[in-house]
């Protein structure tokens, strides 16, 4: 892939950029950092994009602030300076970056809105997280709030606010209440999606800019496909069949 092709393919997914930050609408199947597959990660694609766009000689700095699982889409922050990376990492630790997700599930949740607390244990060999009701060996406390915000004839849209950031947290905790995410075979959904995506999308990021101190809110549209289009249109029109 040439530099010109990389620039044109990634440019349409950039939601925000200034001297310190770059926020991307990650597409499903893209990986944030390199893994055993050997596929080019977004971190490298974006470095090449910045090098070409700004005609930068030598190496380009780009820090990964947080990650999204490969089958997940949505808003993702990268730092273009070491100052921004250090400050954003500290903000993440303090819970000062608010992340809101959309998740499409087949089964309606037990309650239309709830605060879920569980204790998660990651199995490295299976690359899977298991939920426990009480603290156990090698578990981490995990909390999220979900709200049912939309429904179709066959599916339901949940808005999820993460209060902690654990491995596969949303996927594991929603599965634990009987609501595996559409396409998520690993956590109990019976069928895969085309291309291996799952219907989990990082919809909104809200935080104070680490350098300018201005308030930032970024909304990322889900991938264009019929079910996501239905729920996106439903939310934009203000209609909610679940009400």
The number of angstroms, rounded, from the C-alpha of 156 to the middle of its chain's C-alpha atoms is 18
194-229: pLDDT as tens digits: 899 999 999 999 999 999 999 999 999 999 999 999
Mean pLDDT of 166-190: 97
For residue 243, pLDDT beyond 50: no
The pTM for the full model equals: 0.91
Longest dimension (CA), the chain: 56
Q: Which residues contact 45 (CB under 8 A, 6 or more apart)?
A: 6, 10
Determine the Cα–Cα distance for residues 206 and 122; give it in Å rounded to an integer: 28
| Residue 7 banded pLDDT, cuts 50, 70, 90 | very low
What share of the chain in percent tops pLDDT 70? 93
pLDDT of 6: 45
For residue 4, pLDDT beyond 50: no
Who wins on pLDDT, 3 or 221? 221
Q: Which of 38, 57, 47, 39 is nearest to 7 (CA)?
A: 47
Determine the Cα–Cα distance for residues 198 and 171; give it in Å rounded to an integer: 10
Residue 79 C-beta-side C-alpha neighbours within 13 Å: 19
Determine the Cα–Cα distance for residues 136 and 140; give it in Å rounded to an integer: 9
Choose, from 11, 18, 39, 69, the residue flagged as catalytic. 69
| Residue 37 banded pLDDT, cuts 50, 70, 90 | low
With 0-12 CB in 10 A as exposed, 13-18 as middle and 19+ as buried, what is 28? buried
Helical H segments across 147-197, by residue range:
169-176
Mean pLDDT of 169-187: 98
Q: Tell me whether residue 13 is one of the annotated catalytic residues.
A: no
Domains, in order of start, for the chain: 3-237 (3.30.2350.10)
pLDDT of 204: 98
């Amino acid at each position: 892939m040439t530099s010109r092709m990389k620039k044109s393919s990634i440019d349409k997914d950039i939601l925000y950029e200034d001297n310190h930050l770059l926020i991307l609408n990650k597409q499903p199947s893209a990986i944030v950092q390199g893994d055993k597959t050997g596929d080019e990660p977004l971190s490298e694609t974006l470095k090449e994009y910045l090098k070409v766009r700004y005609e930068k000689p030598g190496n380009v700095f780009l820090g990964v602030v947080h990650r999204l699982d490969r089958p997940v889409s949505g808003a993702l922050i990268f730092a273009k300076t070491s100052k921004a990376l250090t400050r954003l990492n500290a903000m993440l630790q303090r819970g000062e970056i608010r992340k809101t997700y959309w998740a499409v599930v087949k089964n309606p949740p037990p309650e239309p809105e709830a605060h879920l607390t569980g204790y998660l244990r990651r199995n490295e060999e299976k690359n899977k997280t298991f939920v426990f009701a009480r603290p156990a060996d090698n578990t981490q406390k995990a909390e999220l709030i979900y709200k049912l915000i939309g429904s179709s004839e066959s599916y339901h849209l949940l808005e999820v606010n993460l209060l902690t950031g654990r491995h596969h947290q949303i996927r594991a905790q929603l599965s634990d209440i009987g609501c595996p995410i559409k396409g998520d075979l690993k956590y109990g959904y019976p069928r895969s999606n085309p291309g291996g995506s799952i219907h989990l999308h990082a919809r909104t990021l809200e935080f104070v800019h680490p350098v300018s101190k201005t308030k930032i809110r970024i909304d990322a549209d889900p991938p264009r496909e019929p079910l996501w289009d239905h729920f996106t249109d439903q939310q934009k029109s203000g209609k909610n069949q679940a009400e």
